[in-house]
A and B are shown apart, each in its own frame.
Chain A
Amino acid sequence: MIDLEWMAWTLPTAVFFAGIAALLVGMSVWQHVSPTRRRRGALGLSTTRGDRVFLGLLASAFLQLAWLGLTPFSPWIAAGLGGVLLVWILRFG
């Protein structure tokens, strides 16, 4: 086994990256089964499905930062809201 101690892995970050990787693999499979169609949605941008996932993740990240910077509440609430935002952008954006 390669020594990855220098990368200072933790379980939460490993789960996070595994989630991102699973998302990418899932998107690739989805693309293969049913290819994306470029369209213009609620955001007014012409996007593909992959564009919307990127936008959704980016928007969730900024939501999380705003949450951490402006409120004293648990980041899990923002994570939940971010998930909702991601799905909304993917579906309607």
Chain B
Amino acid sequence: MNRTEHPRAWLLVAPVLAVVAFSALIPLMTVVNYSVQDIFGPGQRVFVGSEWFREILRDERLHAAFGRQLLFTASILAIELPLGVAIALSMPTRGPGVSLTLVTLALPLLVPWNVVGTIWLIFGRADIGLGGALLHGLGLEWNYAQNAADAWALLLVMDVWHWTSLVALLAYAGLRAIPEPLRQAAQIDGASPWAIFRHVQLPKLRGVLTIALLLRLMDSFVIYTEPFVLTGGGPGNATTFLSQYLAQRAVGQFDLGPAAAFSLIYFLIILALCFGFFTALTAHELHDAPEGEGGEGEA
């Protein structure tokens, strides 16, 4: 394979590089600088080496927030992925129902995150909210401001409402891309609907589902706005996830050094997750095209 490289290509990516430098690289470097210093104010700072990292890594509250984060992310993935695929499978494939379903499904995705939090904040209240009032009417003791389990339930339901559509839309697009004759052939051979799904459709959905998983994993791992609006991390610390604990340290207590060390650890975790999924996504393609390995002109 012959590839020609043109210097003009660098000119075309230069604006992106400049923007990334200002929006990501310089802040990141500043955070690294903060993470090794105790900062009292402008111009007043002391180098402390790796002390903040030691402190943060041994922070019990951080461990607890990390555990809650993992539980939350695992829960919403376990609900949203199967539910999204199930919705996609039951969506109409032709007729006016298609557009209607697509628009309806897309609606939650268009709502700003703080508004989503507010919607569910009101919906869950027993005095003025429909959902809370219904639960009370059924005789349930429901109070998400005081009961941790209730707060968790409300958060999970909210996230499922907000984001399952994304999985469903991706899975729907993936399903539509599968040639219809494949399904028909399986049907003629007497395959059950489950067998068709398991052996014809699901393997073809691998790509879009990996993307859906990746997007939901990343988004839920950095979730901030909705829990902040809905529960404020409470009751107690019951719904304080990583980003909110980070904000408490950085903005609330102005512990810039520890917060910076925390951000870097958080960043490394996200980076490792991204790499893992990127590898999972591309390993498939590399397996499919082994002749490309080693035999390329650039090798």
A residues at B contact (CB < 8 Å): 5-10, 12-13, 16-17, 35-39, 45-46, 54-55, 58, 61-62, 65, 68-69, 75
Contacts and interface: CB of A to CB of B under 8 A. Distances in A.
Contact of A69 (B30, B58, B279, B296): B58
B268 A61 contact: yes
B196 interface: no
Nearest to B297: A35
Interface in B22-78: 26, 29-30, 32-34, 36-37, 39, 42-43, 45, 47, 49-50, 53-54, 57-58
A58 B37 CA distance: 23
A7 B26 contact: yes
B26 A10 contact: no
Q: Is the interface of A mostly helix, strand, loop or mixed?
A: helix
Contacts of A45: 279, 283
A8 B34 contact: yes
Nearest to B269: A62
22 contacts: A7-B26, A8-B30, A8-B37, A8-B39, A9-B33, A13-B29, A16-B32, A17-B29, A17-B32, A35-B299, A37-B299, A38-B286, A38-B293, A38-B296, A38-B299, A46-B283, A46-B293, A55-B275, A58-B272, A69-B54, A69-B57, A69-B58
Contacts of B265: 65
Contacts of A65: 53, 57, 265, 268
Interface of B: 26, 29-30, 32-34, 36-37, 39, 42-43, 45, 47, 49-50, 53-54, 57-58, 265, 268, 271-272, 275, 279, 283, 286, 293-294, 296, 298-299
Contacts of A62: 268, 272
A13 B48 CA distance: 12
A10 B39 CA distance: 12
A58 B250 CA distance: 25
A68 B54 contact: yes
B275 A58 contact: yes
Given A10-B36, A58-B275, A62-B272, A39 B45 contact: no
